[in-house]
Amino acid sequence: MKVGVVQLPGSTGDRDLLHALIGELHVRARLFPHKSKSFAGADAIIIPGGCSFGDHLRAGALAKSTPILQAIKDFATSGGPILGIGNGFQVLCEAKLLPGTFTENASRMHYCDYESLNVEDSTKNFSIRRLGETIELPVSHRFGRYWVDDRDLNSLQTNQQILFRYANNPNGSVGNIAAIRNRDENVFGMMPHPEAAVEHGIHRSTIGARVLSAFLKQPKVEPKVPQLNPDAQAQIEQLLINCASSMSMDKIYAYLPGHKMLLSVNGERTVNTTDSSNDVGEYLHKLHKHSAKEQTSNMATTTGNHYVITETSQHLSLMSVAYRNKVVLARIIKEVGGLNEKLADILDKSGN
């Protein structure tokens, strides 16, 4: 087992966590600075606590804009286990890898003490059988008040995503929630600090070592490809058909990386839904992967009697093939750009 410990500017818990992993749990671990773009060689990732960026703007908000966050998202998408502790939990929520958000404690003050936690049966390793009905871990935070709306709270409870609840809620968190996981069982977040309860003779207890071990025993999960909402797919297909018809396009290909799906439309108004394993799908997949995901990029080329225009945005990549003698290049570039925005809007509204 090799563990990657994320090192964010201002965080104070990275060295403590590293000591707990190497010195007490005897696992291999190393720091990954905030500019790292991958976690090569790591089997699991832990984001430590400690006020990254001084909690300026909002706890975890600035950290989500660091280069390493994309590597964290990629690791999560691949099914790798991730744990966020304290501020790390806040970062995972800011990055939308876990549901919910954090606000200031109900007392409006920093809170630091040991707290009794009720263990929930959430996974094979995070269970009453493995950890006991109650455990005690230290907490230290000012912005530790966890909140989700009623719908998400019900989802957390229904899907057994809650790991620990406070026995005596110290911060006003909804549902007394102290720790949760995602539905795929590979992303975990907890406000208590298990790394501060691992060392005999130094810490009050060593229960934190068992908690960290419970996480490290979590297997890598097989990544699930989300299904495209049928209504959204119908709307997207209709947009492609209308655009192909009105612009005299020979072909339009829309590649949706989040769903590994390629939608293609030809000039005869037929629609095919395929996976991305063919040449066009592979090309658009690579184009999307190497393009800036937070902004749109485009490219136009000519081949024979056709224009070929590609445009990549955060949600999808488009490639259109249009007859040169029926439409001018400037018009087709503008049309493809507008089409990309409309498709992205459909995906956003449908939750895809």
**Domains of the chain, start order:** 2-216 (3.40.50.880), 230-347 (3.30.450.190)
The predicted-structure confidence for 230-265, as pLDDT tens digits, reads as follows 888 888 888 888 888 877 788 888 888 777 788 888
Question: What pLDDT does residue 160 have?
Answer: 97
Checking if the pLDDT of 313 tops 80, the result is: no
Instruction: Tell me how far apart the alpha carbons of residues 135 and 49 are, in angstroms, rounded to a whole number.
Output: 20
pLDDT-based confidence at 84, cuts 50/70/90?
very high
pLDDT mean over 256-278: 69
Instruction: Tell me how far apart the alpha carbons of residues 208 and 290 are, in angstroms, rounded to a whole number.
Output: 40
Provide the percentage of residues in the chain whose pLDDT is more than 90.
47
Instruction: Tell me how far apart the alpha carbons of residues 51 and 59 are, in angstroms, rounded to a whole number.
Output: 7
HSE-CB at 112 with a 13 A cutoff on CA atoms is 4
Instruction: Tell me how far apart the alpha carbons of residues 296 and 44 are, in angstroms, rounded to a whole number.
Output: 32
Q: Which of 50-64, 127-141, 294-308 has the lowest mean pLDDT?
A: 50-64
pLDDT-based confidence at 323, cuts 50/70/90?
confident
Question: What pLDDT does residue 120 have?
Answer: 97
Q: Which of 45-49, 109-113, 276-280 has the lowest mean pLDDT?
A: 276-280
Binning the chain into helix, strand and coil, the percentages to the nearest 5 are 35, 30, 40
pLDDT mean over 112-121: 96
Checking if the pLDDT of 294 tops 60, the result is: no
Question: What pLDDT does residue 150 have?
Answer: 95
The predicted-structure confidence for 26-75, as pLDDT tens digits, reads as follows 999 999 998 888 999 999 999 998 877 766 666 666 777 788 888 999 89
Is pTM, for the whole model, over 0.75? no
pLDDT-based confidence at 127, cuts 50/70/90?
very high
Q: Which of 155-169, 183-197, 242-256, 266-280 has the lowest mean pLDDT?
A: 266-280
Instruction: Tell me how far apart the alpha carbons of residues 90 and 171 are, in angstroms, rounded to a whole number.
Output: 14
Checking if the pLDDT of 351 tops 70, the result is: no
HSE-CB at 113 with a 13 A cutoff on CA atoms is 11
pLDDT-based confidence at 118, cuts 50/70/90?
very high
Number of neighbours of residue 79 by Cβ within 10 angstroms: 15
Question: What pLDDT does residue 59 have?
Answer: 62
Ranges 70-79, 209-218, 257-266, most confident:
209-218
The secondary structure of 157-217, three-state, reads HHCCCEEEEECCCCCCCHHHEEEEECCCCCEEEECCCHHHCCCCCCCCCCHHHHHHHHHHC
Mean pLDDT of the chain: 87
